Structure 1
Amino acid sequence: RKARALLVASLLLHDFHLRFEQVRRAEVLALLRALGVPRVHEDFIFIIINFSCFEISFHPQSWVVTSLVIVI
């Protein structure tokens, strides 16, 4: 089984300023669906959130998502 990288290029989520612990799988799934990304299993969202497989910049008490890379 081969993994393919899906890059949501130049995805700037300026309004997606959530504290890391407030990020919910459903919110990420809803965002991806709104962007037209094919169905992604929730386990992948869990992995992405927990292993920070998206580029983030850290600010005190908050995580700002600047771009999103998903491997499915």
Structure 2
Amino acid sequence: MDSRSHQPLNTAVREDFSEYVAHLQLHMTLQARNLVPPLTNASDSREELLQQTQANFEKLVSRQGR
């Protein structure tokens, strides 16, 4: 069998696969946007986390002093 007869098929498969990968990358990017909080809220959540950590640490230290 001549390998040249498979070239159009291989090219079509590669193009289909490339299109599939591009679609998958776009889908994953859009999903990632839904999972990551907006940057405007990031500083607020970091401050809140810091305050919670400090409060938990202070509770722990105050209990150890007894």
Is the TM-score greater than 0.5?
Answer: no
User: If you compute each CA radius of gyration, which structure gives the higher value, 1 or 2?
Assistant: 2
TM-score (norm 2): 0.21
**Structure whose residues are more often helix by fraction:** 2
TM-score (norm 1): 0.20
Relative contact order higher in (CA < 8 Å, ≥ 6 apart): 1
